[in-house]
Amino acid sequence: MKKLLLLFLVCISMHIFGQNAHCGMDKTSLELYRVDSEILKCIAKNSTKKNTIFYTFGVWCKPCIYGIPYALSLELNYDVDVYVLIVDSEDSQYIRRTLDFFSLYENNYQLSKTKILLLKDSQNNKSRKRKYKDFLKKITPPRFENIADMSKYIVFNNFGEVLLVTNYKDSKDNDDWKDDRPMINKLIVPLLSKKLN
C-alpha cells in the first residue's frame, strides 16, 4: 500500500511539474506555484483530464473549509483535475496556516496530496481583496455573474475555456450552507465525465 501511495504521489508531482514547464509557473519560498488567469487556462489545456476545477480558498473562510471535502472528492469520481487556489497575498501569514491546514487534513482524511496553487500578487496591488477582484474580472465570462465571494468553483474544459464560475447565489435554494453537494450535483456534475474504472 505504501508503494502504491508513493507511486501516486510521484505521478501527481510529475503532472504538476510538467504543467510548470509548459505554463511558466514559478514557486514561492514556501514551494507553492504562483498562478494568474492565463496560467490557469494553460494548466487546463495541458491537463490529461477532460476538465479542470479550481476551488478558491482562504483558511479564514468557513464556507471554504466546509466545501473542501466536496471539492476534492470530485477528482475521485470524475475525469477532472482539482486544484485549491489560495487567494491570500503572497507574504500573508495565512499561507503557512493554509499549508498546515492541508497537511493535517491530508493526514486525517485523504491519502493523496492536495494540489495547491497561489494566486499571484498583481504588480500594482498586493491586497488580497483587490487582486482577487481583478482575477475574477479576467476569469469570469460575461454570462456568469461576477461576485467576489469565496469557495468558488471555476471549471475549465481542456481547451482552456471557462465553463462555469459559481457564486453564493448558486446555493440559495440549499438550506444547509455548509453542504455544497446540491449545487455541485446541479451545476458541476453535468459538465464532468465519470471516471473510467
109 is a domain residue? yes
Per the structure, the complete domain to which residue 187 belongs is given by: 2-191
pLDDT digits (tens, 9 = 90+) for 132-147: 999 999 999 999 999 9
Inform me whether the pLDDT recorded for 15 exceeds 70. Answer: no
Q: Find the range with the poorest average confidence among 28-42, 65-79, 141-155, 169-183.
A: 169-183
113 is a domain residue? yes
154 is a domain residue? yes
155 is a domain residue? yes
Q: What's the whole-number average pLDDT of the chain?
A: 87
176 is a domain residue? yes
pTM of the model: 0.86
Helix (H) or strand (E) holding 14: helix 2-23
Q: Find the range with the poorest average confidence among 19-28, 79-88, 149-158, 163-172.
A: 19-28
77 is a domain residue? yes
pLDDT number for residue 18: 46
Structural domain count of the chain = 1
Q: State the CATH number of the domain containing residue 120.
A: 3.40.30.10
197 is a domain residue? no
* Angle formed by the axes of helices 37-46 and 128-139, nearest 10°: 50
Read off the pLDDT band of 196 (50, 70, 90). Answer: low
175 is a domain residue? yes
